[in-house]
Amino acid sequence: MDIKTLKIQYLEHLEIEKNRSAKTVENYGRYLNRFLQFTKVSSPAGITEDLIRQYRLYLNRFKDDEGKPLKKVTQNYHIIALRNFLKYLAKRDIKSVSAEKVELGKQEDREVTFLEADELERLLKSPEDNNLDTLRDRAVLGTLFSTGMRVSELCALDRDKIDPKRGEVSIRGKGSKIRVVFLSDNAKDSLDQYLKKRVDADEALFIRIPRSKSFSKESNLRLTPRSIQRIVGKYAIKAGIIRKKVSPHTLRHSFATDLLRNGADIRSVQALLGHSSVTTTQIYTHVTDKQLREVHERFHDKK
């Protein structure tokens, strides 16, 4: 069987058996296409360790149309896709190079942008009016920081799944995994005020407000991640936060940082963020490093 057919079958396997999202399947397809275009192999047996080494050199030296290289993390995404494809081939007893012989490259540490307590307070208080747009924006900011959810998870929320009084929300995250997140008192209050002022029948929790304020002829009102990004950016500027690039993910980072600074263990933070591995959660070492310094100063070399 030719390798292009096997690639298609592998992507179908990801979609059906592995229940991966359409975006994940699309990304894996793109990464594998780049490998096939570079190597020009026609069968799995043609994939060798040396060919993979040449491919890795190609990725490391690759420049886009603007002359920018691929980040190490992006290079690793390509290798992960290839490695998982090789595992799939092995599972089907199709001869090729062993996935165990393909190692990931060392990644640079991820830079984490988060807000300090005073910045957070200014940001969350910056939507000041009581019109529907502003009530929505206040609820968006409060929900993002209170739950630490991803912007895609926020956009997917339906209002019949939200009970502001109870303060618990079940969300479907990456890999269709369900987890429970929690609303603070301020977030519950903001959501309650926003929902009470809604007069439309749209199922989405967060919607764009038509300029005419007439909802009868509108369709697809659900906010997109880009819309949420604009809302967060708008209020960051209003709050005077101009030295940091503030995004919805900044609030997710701030949520995790706040928990760790107040004594939460990293495994609990991992569960609340919906990380499949604690290794991902360990990007928040800027918090634990500070705590280690305090431990060192308190207990080391005391006479």
| Alpha carbons 290 and 239: distance in angstroms, whole number | 27
Q: What is the mean pLDDT of the chain?
A: 88
Give the pair of three-digit tokens for residue 297: 């100063």
Comparing 237 with 110, the larger pLDDT belongs to 237
Which residues are catalytic, by number?
150, 174, 249, 252, 275, 284
∠ CA 47-44-3, nearest 5°, is 120
Asked whether the predicted pLDDT for residue 57 surpasses 60, the reply is: yes
Percentage of the chain exceeding pLDDT 70: 89
Paired with 69 in beta bridges are 63
pLDDT of amino acid 276: 83
Report the C-alpha gap between 62 and 75 in whole angstroms.
10
Q: Give me the residue label for tokens 């991803």.
A: 150
CA proximity to 11, closest of 84, 68, 76, 65: 84
Structural contact between residues 252 and 267, judged by C-beta atoms closer than 8 angstroms:
no
What tens digit of pLDDT does each residue of 141-185 get? 999 999 999 999 999 999 888 887 888 888 888 877 889 999 999
Kindly compute the dihedral angle of the four CA atoms of residues 81, 87, 93, 96, in this order, to the nearest 10 degrees: 60
* Cα–Cα distance measured from residue 87 to residue 44, given in angstroms and rounded to the nearest whole number: 12
CB 174 within 8 A of CB 274: yes
Mean pLDDT calculated for residue range 68-95: 93
pLDDT on residue 107? 59
- 191-204 average pLDDT score: 91
Region 62-70: mean pLDDT is 89
**Domains (ranges, CATH) in the chain?**
3-101 (1.10.150.130), 117-294 (1.10.443.10)
Residue 206 has pLDDT above 80, yes or no: yes
What would the pLDDT profile of 241-257 be if each residue is shown by its tens digit? 988 999 999 999 999 99
